[in-house]
Amino acid sequence: MNDPELWEAVAADPSIPLDRSLVRQIVDDQRRLSRRWLYPVARVVSRVLVAVVSILKRVLPFRWMPLATMDALCVWFLRRFVSPDAVELLIRHFVVETNLVNFVLRNTPATLAPVTLRPTTLAGLGDHAVVEHDVNVYDVLIALDGVDPAPPVRFDFAELDVPPLDAERRRVRLLRLDIQTALCLMNIPFSIALTLGEYRRAVHSMRFDDSFLEILARVTGDDGFRQWKTGMLSLRMDSNVDVPETVYRHAILCEFAHARLVRFAADASAG
């Protein structure tokens, strides 16, 4: 009897629409020792501390930490304690989601200029990038109010690329945490710095994943985007979720949608 290796099968799964090198990068990140030993602890600690912060902020409803301090703290943490591969995946997510957002804007009558959040360096994750990233989702959906997201006469496939990303691989790191453990730990300063409304808005933005998959399906006329819907309804307000896990799933869904969109663009250009 064969004794197949779990990660070998995951990496070889032909149903995953991503480039094999990206799949290997994601698999290698999940195989880090921190993912096995630190993540289960960090996940619980993060949820408990964020819950305590949320309760206290109802009593003391003011901003506890400037957003600039949060940005600087998270960039410092990524530079010193998170593996370069995980950092690259995180930077990549900002680019990928912006590509999806801008494709919708460029191919619908929505009266909103394409967004510019496409960081290529670790330092680019500062300057309120996390907040801007969430706000872009809301701005696009509001701009689509009353707009029929049907296929355009001519598609605009501008900026579907992912440029070279600088995760500062030469920098000395004290630890090389995986991305899921890093998200658990970064969620703590996020909850401290953001107001309750901002934090709730950030968490709820990921409930629009199904909405964007539906919009992409309508704009492209490709039903394949609908296969990754999770059933998380945007009409249901709920911030009591495992935020790091939800963020990770959101990032993977964006990668799947982006890969399909790039393939759709290639097929359309060839045809």
Instruction: Name the 3-class secondary structure at 82.
Output: strand
What's residue 167's pLDDT?
97
pLDDT for 3 beyond 80: no
Could you read off the pLDDT of 48-94 as tens digits, one per residue? 999 999 999 999 888 888 999 999 999 999 999 999 999 999 999 99
CA distance 61 to 256: 38
pLDDT for 266 beyond 70: yes
- In order, the DSSP letters of 251-263 are HHHHHHHHHHHHH
Task: Provide the residue type at 261 as one letter.
Answer: L
Q: Report CA-CA distances (Å) from 229 to 25, 139, 169, 209, 264.
A: 24, 21, 35, 7, 18
pLDDT band at 18 (very low <50, low <70, confident <90, very high): very high
Q: How far is CA 120 from the centre of its chain?
A: 15
CA distance 183 to 227: 26
- DSSP annotation of 227 reads G
Place of tokens 């930077």: 91
CA distance 85 to 53: 30
Tokens found for residue 135: 């706000």
Q: What is the mean pLDDT of the chain?
A: 92
Summarize the confidence of residues 22-30 as an average pLDDT: 95
Could you read off the pLDDT of 194-244 as tens digits, one per residue? 999 899 999 989 999 999 999 999 999 999 999 999 988 887 777 678 888
CA distance 90 to 69: 19
| 166, 120 contact by CB (below 8 A) | yes
Q: How far is CA 27 from the centre of its chain?
A: 17
Task: Provide the residue type at 264 as one letter.
Answer: F
Neighbours of 125 (CB within 10 A): 19
What's residue 63's pLDDT?
86
What's residue 239's pLDDT?
64
Q: Report CA-CA distances (Å) from 266 to 21, 134, 145, 229, 261.
A: 19, 29, 29, 23, 9
Place of tokens 């992409």: 216
Could you read off the pLDDT of 169-189 as tens digits, one per residue? 999 999 999 999 999 999 999
Summarize the confidence of residues 146-156 as an average pLDDT: 92
- What are residue 121's DSSP bridge partners? 166
pLDDT for 153 beyond 80: yes
For helices 129-143 and 84-106, angle between their N-to-C axes, nearest 10 degrees: 20
CA distance 101 to 79: 28
* Residue 121 φ then ψ, to 5°: -130, 165
CA distance 141 to 110: 9
CA distance 231 to 210: 7
Using alpha carbons, select from 64, 84, 99 the residue that is nearest to residue 188.
64
